Chain A
C-alpha cells in the first residue's frame, strides 16, 4: 500500500469523523430547538483497488455518504391528525368558555336574578298599587331586565364576531404557511439535487406543516423530488414551489360574517377539522343556537308582559299600552311612555278599580310561574335554567374533549421526540461507551501491530 494511499485514507478518516463531530455538535446545540430532528452521519468504507478479486488491495479509508434525519414519517402523520382534532376541540372549548362567562350565572347580575326582581316588583305593586315607589321600582327593574338581556345577546354576538375575526386571521395564517412551504420546497429540491439532504430546511418545512395541520385539515404527500404537495378539501394548496391561496368574502345572509373560498375557481372551501372548523362551528351553529334561545325567551317575556299590560289600566285611567318595546333581546326596552310616567304602569284590571286595585299587577307577577315556554312545558325560569345548564354542560364536555385531544397529541409528540429528539444524557452515554470500546480495541490492535512487524521483519528476504 503506497504512501499516498495511506495519507488519503487517513484524511478521509479525519474528514468523516469531523462530519460526525459536526453532526454531534449540531444535535447538542439544537437539543432544545422546537421541531429539530436528530441527525446522524452515514459513513462507509472506501473499497481498495481491484476490490473483490484475488489481487485486491487494502481499503482506502472511509467516505462521508451524508447526514440523515432521524424521523418517523408515520408518527408525523399521526401527530398532524391529532393536531387537527386538538385544534378544533380547543377552539370550541375556548368559545364555549366565553359563552359561559357571558351568561354570568349564577350571579346578581345574571338574567335569572334580574328577571326575578322584575316579577317581584310586580308582586309588590299588586299589594300597593298607588305607591309611586313601587311603580318606579317596576319601571326600573323592567329597564334592568331589558339592559341585561341586551348585554347577554350582545355578548354572545360579540363572541360570534370574535370567532369571525379569528377565522379571517386563520385564513391569513394558512396562506402565509402555504407560501413558506412552497418556498422551502424550492430550496430543498435545489439542495438535494447537489447531494445535500437539506436536513435543517426539512425540519422547518415539517414545523410549517405541523402549524398548518393545527389550523385546517390538510393532506400532504412528499414527492420523489423532495417537495411536499399539500391539499385542502381536495384542492391544491401547495404544489412543489407554488402556493395557492384561499380568501374570505362577507356573507350578507350571515350577518356579513366571512365565507372562505379557493382563489382558483372561487368555490367554498370545505373545512372538516382544525381550529377553523371549531371556530366556524361556534360562529354558525353553537353560538347562533344560544342567541336564538335567549331571543326566544326574551321575545316571549315581551309578548306575555305586553299582552297582560295592555289589558290593564294605569293610575291615569288609560289602557291598551305596551310595557316593553322591541321583539327580542337585541332591542328590548321599556316603552318611553311608561318609563317617563310610572303612573302609566297598568296595575289595575279595570278603570273602575282605580285607585286601589292591583289585580292586574298580580296577573303580571303570575306570568313568572306560567308554562309559557317550550310549547307550554316550561316557565321562564325553567327554560332559562335549561339554557344555562346546556351551555355549562357543553362547555365542560368541550373542555374534557380538548384535554383528551391535547393528551393524545402530547403522547404522539413524545413518541416522535423519542426517535427524533436529542437527549444530552444519551449522547453522553453513547460517547462513554465508544470511549471504552476504542480503548480496548486500541490495546489489542497495538499488540497485533507489534506481532506483525516482528513477523514481517523475520520474513525479510
Chain B
C-alpha cells in the first residue's frame, strides 16, 4: 500500500473513532440534561467526570487525526494548517477519498448533534446558576436574620433579632 493510502486509512480510522466518542458525548449530554432537570446533583457530577475523561480521549484522537492530515498534506504538497477535509479527499485515490469523505461527514453530523446538546445544557446551567446564586444570597440574608418581610411584603433589614419571616416586622 502506498504511503498516501496508508495515511488515508489512518485518517478514516481516527475520524470513525472520534465519531464513536462523540456518540458517547451526546449520550452524556442527554444524561446531563436529565440530571439538571431532576436536580440530581450527584448524577450531574458523575456525568461531568465521564465527560472530562472523554475529552482527554478525544484530545488524543485529535492528535492522531492531525498526524494523518499532516502526513497527507506533506505528501500532496499542501499547507497542513489550511487544508480542508474535502481537499484531502480530492488528493486521495477514489476509493480512499469516498471512505474519508463519508467518515468526515458522519463525524461532522455527530459533532453538531453533541454541540447542540452541549449548548442547550450550557443555557440550562446559566439560568439555573443565576437563580441559585440569587436564592443563596436571599437565604443568607434570612438565615443571619439580616432581612425580614414587612407588613407590605417588602424586604427590609432588621436592627434587632427579629424572627425570620416575621411579617409583623
Contacts and interface: CB of A to CB of B under 8 A. Distances in A.
Chain B interface SS verdict (over half): helix
Contacts of A440: 45, 48
Interface in A312-362: none
Contacts of A446: 122
B30 interface: yes
Interface centre among B86, B118, B136 (most CB of A within 10 A): B118
Interface in A424-439: 424-425, 427-428, 430-435, 437-439
Nearest to B119: A449
B116 interface: yes
Contact of B120 (A21, A29, A58, A455): A58
Interface residues on B, range: 35 or more
Interface string A420-461: 000011011011111101111110111111011101101111
B148 to A, nearest CB: 12
Interface in B83-125: 84-86, 104-105, 107-108, 111-125
Contacts of B85: 458-461
Interface string B118-153: 111111111111011101100110110000000000
A433 B48 contact: no
Contacts of B45: 437, 440-441
A438 B129 contact: yes
Given A17-B131, A452-B114, A442 B143 contact: no
B118 A438 contact: no
A1 interface: yes
Interface residues of A, number: 53
A29 B148 CA distance: 11
B104 A451 contact: no
A58 to B, nearest CB: 4
Nearest to A13: B124
B17 interface: no
Interface string A16-36: 110011001000110110000
Interface in B53-75: 55, 58-59, 62
Q: Is the interface of A mostly helix, strand, loop or mixed?
A: helix
Given A59-B30, A444-B48, A438 B37 contact: no
A456 B118 CA distance: 14
A445 B125 contact: yes
Contacts of B38: 43
Given A437-B44, A440-B45, A62 B135 contact: no
A43 B34 CA distance: 9
A43 B139 CA distance: 24
A434 B123 contact: no
A191 interface: no
B20 interface: no
Given A58-B117, A425-B143, 16 more contacts: A1-B116, A10-B123, A13-B123, A16-B37, A31-B165, A424-B164, A437-B41, A438-B128, A439-B129, A441-B32, A449-B118, A451-B59, A455-B107, A456-B115, A459-B108, A461-B108
22 contacts: A14-B127, A16-B37, A21-B135, A29-B165, A61-B124, A62-B33, A427-B139, A434-B132, A438-B128, A439-B129, A441-B36, A444-B48, A444-B52, A447-B55, A448-B25, A448-B114, A449-B119, A451-B58, A452-B111, A453-B115, A459-B107, A461-B104
